[in-house]
Amino acid sequence: MTVEELRAQFPILSSQVNGRPLVYLDNAATSQRPASVVECWEGMALRTNANLHRAVHALAARATDRYEQTREFVRHYLNAAAREEIIFTSGTTGGINLLAHSFGEAFLQEGDEILIAECEHHSDIVPWQLLAARKGLKIKVLPILDDGMPDLSALEGLLSPRTKIACIAQISNVLGILNPVGEIIRTCHAKGCAVLVDGAQGIVHGKVDVRALDCDFYVFSGHKVFAATGTGVLYGKKALLEQMPPFLGGGEMIDTVRFSGTTFAPLPGKFEAGTQDFCAVPTLMPALALAGSVFADAELQRSGEEVKAYVLDALRRNPRIRLFGDPADPARKVPLFSFCVEGAHHEDLALILDKMGVAVRSGQMCAEPLMDRFGVTGMLRASFAPYNTLREAETFTASLEKAIDMLT
C-alpha cells in the first residue's frame, strides 16, 4: 500500500485549516479515523442499536454478537490466551483506574510499594497516588536518563519484596522511545513484582503480543489507533484478574443480587458494569485490522522510516533545538518528537505553526514530572502517523524554521 492509498481512507486528511492543507502532527493525542471505522460506528447506531446481553430479541443478540466478536478480535490481535483477559474500558485512563482500584484491593497492604517510571503520563501516576493515599502505600520512581531511556541499572535496587507492581509506558508520549519493557518485566518478575505496561502510544507503533511480552497488564485507548473515541482495552492475566474485586458496581457485572449480599459475574463481565459503549467498541475491529496491515506493509514501513529519519536529522542539525528522547540506537525511536527551541516559547511556535496548517502539540503533555526532570515548563511535540508523508514532514520543518525566524 502506498501512503497516498492509506491517506485516501482518512477523509479529514484532505481538508484545510486556516486556508492551508492540514498537516496533522498531533497523532499522539488522537489519531484520525478512517472511513471504515466511521461506517462501522454509524452502522451500529443506525442498524444494530440495542443494549447488550440483557434481552432476547434479535437486535440485542446482534449487538451482543458484534461486541463479543470484538473481544475475540482483540484477544487474537494481542495474542492473549483467553477472552476473559480482555476487558473493555473507556480508554487507557479508565483501564488504569480500574486496575489501581481492583489490583490495589486484592494485592496491596499498608507499607507496600508501587514503582512508576519518571516518564509516565499523569494517567499512570495519579490513579496510583490516589490508591497510595487510601492504603498507605509508598510510590517509588524509576528514573529517566538524559537520553530519555529508563535507568535500568537502578531498577533492581528499587525493587524490594514489598514492591507489588511496576508501571511503565511501552512508549512515553513525550520521549517517543520504545522502552525496554521486556527486560523490565523479566527483572520485575524475578523479584515477584507484577508489571503494567501502558500501551497508549505503544499500540500505535507496532504489533503487540502480550504473551511474548509476558506483561501482567496492558492498557490502551482505541482513539489513538484509529478506533472510536470512548473505547479502550485492559488486558490482564486471568489468574490475577480472577482474584481482583470489581471496580464499578451495577448492571451486567453481577451474578445474583440480594440485600443480604451480592455475588459477581465471572470474567470479563465482572469488570464491565453498566451500559457499555456498544456502538463504539466494534470499531476496534476495522481499526486494529488497519493498524495490523500497516505494520505488515513493507512500503508503509519504509515510508515511515524515511519520515522518521528525515525529521530526526532536521531537528538534530538545528543547534537551537533541544530534542528530548534521543537514544543512541535510532531503532528505539518512533516518529514522535518533543523538543524546545532556544529563545522561542513552545506556545508561540504552536500558534504560528497552526496558522500554517500544521497541527502540533505544545505544553506539558500531561507529564509534569518529566518536564521537571528536564527543567522545562513545556515542549513542542510533533507526532507522526503512518499516513503522514515526507512532503508533510518537509512542510513541518520549513514552517518551524519560519516560525523561529518570526519569534527571534
Partner 1 sequence: MTLEEKKQEVVDEFAMFEGWMDRYEYIIELGKNLDAYPEDRRTEDRLIKGCQSRVWLDWELRDGRLEFAADSDALITKGIIALLLDVYSGRTAEEIAADDFSFLEEIGLRENLSPTRANGLVSMIATLRRAAEETLAGK
- Which residues of the shown chain bind partner 1 in the complex (CB under 8 A)? 18, 344-348, 350-352, 355, 362-364, 377-378, 406-407
CB neighbour list of residue 34: distance below 8 Å, 6 or more residues apart: 9, 10, 226, 286, 287, 290
Q: Are 172 and 324 in contact (CB under 8 A)?
A: no
* Distance in Å, CB of 350 to partner 1, minimum: 8
Residue placing its CB nearer to partner 1 in the complex, 105 or 348: 348
* Distance in Å, CB of 355 to partner 1, minimum: 5
Residue placing its CB nearer to partner 1 in the complex, 255 or 405: 405
* Distance in Å, CB of 171 to partner 1, minimum: 23
Residue with cell 519504509: 302
* Distance in Å, CB of 393 to partner 1, minimum: 22
- One-letter amino acid at 320 equals R
Instruction: Specify the DSSP element, H or E, that contains 219.
Output: strand 217-221
Residue placing its CB nearer to partner 1 in the complex, 115 or 352: 352
Query: Could you tell me the three cell numbers for 106?
Result: 486484592
User: What is residue 401's three-state secondary structure?
Assistant: helix
Residue environment code for 179-207, b if the CB has 16+ CB neighbours within 10 A, otherwise e: bbbeebbebbeeeebbbbbbbbbbbbbee
DSSP 329-395: SGGGB-SEEEEEETTB-HHHHHHHHHHTTEE-EEE-TT-HHHHHHHT-S-EEEEE--TT--HHHHHH
* Distance in Å, CB of 345 to partner 1, minimum: 4
Instruction: Specify the DSSP element, H or E, that contains 51.
Output: none
Q: Label the pairing between strands 232-236 and 217-221.
A: antiparallel
* Distance in Å, CB of 27 to partner 1, minimum: 20
Residue placing its CB nearer to partner 1 in the complex, 278 or 324: 324
Q: How many CB atoms lie within 10 A of CB 312?
A: 17
**CA pair distance 193, 142, nearest whole angstrom:** 14
Residue placing its CB nearer to partner 1 in the complex, 35 or 406: 406
Residue placing its CB nearer to partner 1 in the complex, 149 or 352: 352
* Positions marked catalytic: 366
**CA 156, 78, 385 angle in degrees (round to 5)?**
90
